[in-house]
Amino acid sequence: MQTTSWVPLFPEQASTFAWQVDALYFYLIAVSVAFTIPIVVAIFFFAVKYRETDKFATPDEMHGSMVLETVWSIIPFVISMTIFVGGAIVFFNQYTPPDDAMEVYVVGKQWMWKIQHQTGQREINELHVPVGRKVKLTMTTEDVIHNFDIPAFRTKVDAVPGRYTYLWFEATKPGKYHLFCAEYCGLNHSGMGGYIYVMEQRDFDNWLSGNVSGQTPVEAGRDLFENKLGCASCHAGGPAQRGAKLEGIFNHDVKLVGGATVKADEQYIRNSILNPSAQVVEGFQPIMPTFKGQVTEEQLNSLVAYIKSLTPNAGTAAAPATNTAAGAAPATNSAAKPAGNSNK
Ligand code: HEC
Ligand SMILES: [Cu+2]
């Protein structure tokens, strides 16, 4: 299925920004060659032209040239600005995941990539995606830094312990493309790879329905929240609510004790679960226990997905809202069902 690229030795171009990366790369090479050749030629030319012929020659005095100075300042300036602007555009495009993307979770560990779709399907070292659809990966790792690298898409992003990073792409043609770990991560680093399968939408739908989906991240998150971890014992709405309101917070501003305001993004929710006393919501006591060491990265992803799902239209930019004790709204979601205090 794999076809070759128009440049020998280059991987195929299979994403919307692959050609941009290549264009920038060839432009850099062209600029380097355009400067290197005249400089090397000039070195030899002058070496020969001004070789020692007369032992006692006195050189002519040099006078500056304003025109020359101006020209060789302006030309490199223009060239370096085109490199800067071109690079900035490509970079911005690649590292700003769109809101309307299909989301996938990726957890790296020595030495494999564990992947889960929003619809629940899990994969290891393989990722199936539809062609022509924007796909956003939310990535983290259980151990050391890894790097999710898809050469045919001309994109790669580090997966960093303790934090979420994002990679997005839109594949432009069906096929099977290499996936690598591009950050040396230990003994079997070289084996930490696999394939991205880009499929026509209907093949992808078939693939999805042909794979056991189990719980979706949101369902798994709700299960953890209401039953296994007992979050609901504090966070369920109603008069007995002891924890901060979680409905509608995603991507909104949250006021903290001490006056600061933070945006409740995925990283914030993650930190609130692992290290609750670091950022305490205004109007609350720091009574939430830490869940560090009690939840796996996958479970954290699920909890974050669940809390995200409590905000309608999560993912799209939303207006700021405050979140204080006074705003403890009437119970509106299923988490209102008290679940025995199962967190020990
Ligand atoms: C003992 C009661 C208690 C339990 C159990 C508890 N929390 Fe909390 N939680 C709180 C309180 C109180 C706050 C507000 C103070 C703070 O930020 O630490 C809070 C804050 C949060 C926040 C930040 C909310 C915001 O509006 O910014 C999140 C997210 C959160 N909890 C998630 C969870 C999850 C997920 C669990 C289960 C794994 C959980 N909590 C278990 C009491 C609890
Ligand atoms: Cu790795």
Per-residue pLDDT tens digits for 5-25? 566 778 899 999 999 999 999
163 versus 55: the higher-pLDDT residue is 163
Give per-residue pLDDT as tens, 202-222: 999 999 888 877 788 899 899
Q: How far is the CA of 141 from the centre of ligand 2 (A)?
A: 9
> Is the shortest distance between the CB of 229 and ligand 1 below 6 Å?
yes
pLDDT, mean over the chain: 85
Give per-residue pLDDT as tens, 305-342: 999 988 887 643 333 333 333 333 333 333 333 333 33
Q: How many CB atoms lie within 10 A of CB 99?
A: 13
Of 334, 124, 313, the closest CA to residue 238 belongs to: 334
Q: 247 with 310: CB under 8 angstroms?
A: yes
Among 228, 233, 234, 269, residue to substitute to test ligand 1 (most atoms within 8 Å of Cβ) = 234
Nearby residues for ligand 2 (ion, Cβ within 5 Å): 146, 181, 185, 192
- Three-state SS for 91? helix
pLDDT of residue 314: 62
Ligand whose nearest atom lies closest to the CA of 110: 2
Of 44-53, 144-153, 241-250, 253-262, give the lowest mean pLDDT range: 241-250
Q: 167 pLDDT exceeds 50?
A: yes
Which tokens in the block code for residue 223?
Answer: 């299960």
Enumerate the β-bridge partners of residue 182.
none
Ligand 1, atom nearest to 225 Cα: 37
Q: Is 125 left (phi over 0), alpha (psi -120 to 50) or beta?
A: left
Q: How far is the CA of 273 from the centre of ligand 1 (A)?
A: 7
Residues 6 or more apart in contact with residue 287 via CB below 8 angstroms? 234, 242
Ligand whose nearest atom lies closest to the CA of 271: 1
Q: How far is the CA of 159 from the centre of ligand 2 (A)?
A: 9
Residues 6 or more apart in contact with residue 30 via CB below 8 angstroms? none
Cα separation values, 269 from 115, 156, 249, 274, Å:
20, 25, 10, 9
> Is the shortest distance between the CB of 291 and ligand 1 below 6 Å?
yes
* Domains along the sequence of the chain with CATH: 1-47+62-213 (2.60.40.420), 217-336 (1.10.760.10)
Q: How far is the CA of 122 from the centre of ligand 2 (A)?
A: 19
Nearest CA to ligand 1 atom 24: 244
pLDDT of residue 286: 85
Give per-residue pLDDT as tens, 123-141: 999 999 999 999 999 999 9
Ligand whose nearest atom lies closest to the CA of 342: 1
